[in-house]
Structure 1
């Protein structure tokens, strides 16, 4: 046989190779990058109004304000930035040209990459007369091309820098914010919309950058359960009729609300539950599908985080997780965590690092949003201290650690090393 002959019992395969999705009707509505219309953007009218007001001067060709959006993951920052900047471009006066670009700083995380991505998106070779190459230029040459491309096409341009805290260095912000003042641009004015999960990001900026930016700040607070239910309902057209029940919507909202009011998690959870229902050939999504999807998502996320961590990072996190499993709480003081860490090192034969170094490792887990670290007062004459709160489910992290040869059977109980089974 050549491999191309018809299969004799092909009819027995039925519709195995045809589209049979009876759960989803418009699955793209659940994509992270999907930007809904205004009537489907929930609980963010005030934030959109403030952002639009700051950028409004560009509609008439004047200089827009710089704006920084802060808030936890999944609170609608990127969604509102994309929606508002798109509407500003559409609303520009007939004789005014407004440009817009969204730069993902988690991918374009160096100055050169960020400039190149910006100018490639905004450049029109037919207008500027040049093509922007992928390689071969230094950042100074890319800057020259950027200024030339902007002046050739636009009266104003809105540059959205998503996950700005992932960008190495601050010179890109300095160059953009001072372009007009430094006579780099003659016609075009630039508005920067910076987006960060780190509300203290501004503290990293030097005084010259802060002075140039003069940015406005908009804080995005977490969604509550009611808002999350409305958000999920706004994407219900992604499913066929009768597939999505109120119980499923409420369960997705509840699970997401427990994790900082993360709308992205709620939507992803709903999509994964729908995919499980499809695989199981179910007629509708059930709460059981939601729970299974949540467990799988949590496990995969934790495995991905641990896979990129050093042994000492893992030991530090394991100290917090072990305490959480034994004490039935998720918040601990630094001395408690360090004592647990010392026991883990003794049991596993790992070198014990200093308290200062462990503090740094705990901060790294905070950056990854596995921990939340706050400073609190201990009362009169008792000073202040750090509290380390575990954001992830300790049982999920424990199951990931059980696959580790070094840490498979290590736990902490009242200062005494025990096995996971005892925990």
Structure 2
């Protein structure tokens, strides 16, 4: 290699590692966790109005109503809950009322003890209460006693946001918090609950005494439509450089997202992926083609997130469906076919095969996550009905995520068979 060739290679590497980016100017605005300014919360005025109405008594120190927010992922529930509760805290402060606010992620703090511990640790100020809340070594009842002390010592009202409340192992915490005043646990403070769930039927799982105690209002967040998503994406355009983003690109992102899911997070992810593709190929602007190419990357991201929280048996059931789809060149299967493929997966991996009923439950979980669509179909005269499982996503995209996982490295589907080989499980 000549010295000139060496310089050319070095220059090429300089381009790869350069911090310059002609596409993005403030990429963090496209992060899923980024909370927009209040004036940029689009298409949820009615839901915010109803939530604020329920919580408004806290502004004057009165007991707010309990509220549960339902809707699919990416429909703005957590965003609106955060905005509304923050506004209540600020307005109450102007009136001389002390309102506390605490958010508990029940997907992480999924037991009663963990959730209560998280609440008291976040609401406590040891300089004002004299309490030291240990991380471990304390029983549930003691955490409750400390929580009641903190509430009465520090606040007139506390708003408790239980995000993904359906992930809690049981509903005991809902009963304890909603009955704290009635049971004489707290004297000065009152508690308002804001539960957030993707499961519209979550309330039906609660015990009758919990339902009676909560007396909650319900607000359902419907999926965003094209116009809503267009407005949401327009509020993120500052993430890009000047003259990078056209109206056609924003419209394409909004249209694709509205047709497939109505999920704002996915729409924003799609726009970010399109920008990354444009940046990687050296383009000066995004195109509609970048958006279309980015749909595959966005789906991969989605499945990575789903897999992060899935059990080995959940993954086995999905891989059974994926293997069928790749071999049979169709995406719809009867339950016996899926179960047979699942047994093959278990045989190859040494997993203990679950019962048909349990596998059916796991498939229903994938349906809830909008990976599968399960319908009951009549089988004709004297044949009865049966379930049909339709894979909604590209099986090759799902399989690529299996391939990326250390746990599932080497996944392959042999042609002409439903037999699936996993290595390094």
1:134 aligns with 2:129: no
Long gaps (5+) in structure 2: 1-9
Preserved contact between residue 347 and residue 410 of structure 1 (Cα < 8 Å): no
**Residues 121-270 of structure 1 aligned to structure 2 (within 5 Å):** 121-270=122-271
More displaced, 318-327 or 124-133?
318-327
Taking a change above 3 Å as real, the CA distance of residues 310 and 234 of structure 1, as seen in their structure-2 partners, is closer
2:381, 2:158 → 1: CA distance?
53
Preserved contact between residue 401 and residue 408 of structure 1 (Cα < 8 Å): no
Structure 1 stretches of 4+ with a deviation exceeding 6 A read 10-18, 326-329, 342-352, 376-384
- Partner in structure 2 of residue 76 of structure 1: 76
1:112 aligns with 2:101: no
- Partner in structure 2 of residue 6 of structure 1: none
Q: CA deviation at 1:188?
A: 1.0
Q: CA deviation at 1:24?
A: 2.8
- Partner in structure 2 of residue 67 of structure 1: 67
Report Cα offsets for 1:208-251 as digits up to 9, x if no partner. Answer: 21111111111111112221111101111222221111222123
The DSSP-based 3-state class of the residue aligned with 1:195 is strand
1:279, 1:131 → 2: CA distance?
51
1:396 aligns with 2:397: yes
Taking a change above 3 Å as real, the CA distance of residues 40 and 335 of structure 1, as seen in their structure-2 partners, is same
- Partner in structure 2 of residue 44 of structure 1: 44
Q: CA deviation at 1:254?
A: 2.9
Preserved contact between residue 29 and residue 236 of structure 2 (Cα < 8 Å): yes
TM-score by length of 1: 0.82
Q: CA deviation at 1:388?
A: 3.4
More displaced, 78-87 or 142-151?
142-151
1:129, 1:343 → 2: CA distance?
60
TM-score by length of 2: 0.82
Q: CA deviation at 1:366?
A: 3.4
- Partner in structure 2 of residue 56 of structure 1: 56
Preserved contact between residue 272 and residue 293 of structure 1 (Cα < 8 Å): yes
Report Cα offsets for 1:65-84 as digits up to 9, x if no partner. Answer: 11111111101110111111
- Partner in structure 2 of residue 99 of structure 1: 100
1:395, 1:11 → 2: CA distance?
37
Taking a change above 3 Å as real, the CA distance of residues 231 and 311 of structure 1, as seen in their structure-2 partners, is closer
- Partner in structure 1 of residue 283 of structure 2: 282
1:23 aligns with 2:27: no
1:19, 1:145 → 2: CA distance?
50
Preserved contact between residue 35 and residue 83 of structure 1 (Cα < 8 Å): no
1:90 aligns with 2:94: no
Q: CA deviation at 1:369?
A: 4.3
Q: CA deviation at 1:311?
A: 6.5
Preserved contact between residue 348 and residue 406 of structure 1 (Cα < 8 Å): no
More displaced, 13-22 or 363-372?
13-22
The DSSP-based 3-state class of the residue aligned with 2:136 is coil
Report Cα offsets for 1:24-65 as digits up to 9, x if no partner. Answer: 333332232333234322221111111111111111111101
2:410, 2:311 → 1: CA distance?
12
- Partner in structure 1 of residue 317 of structure 2: 316
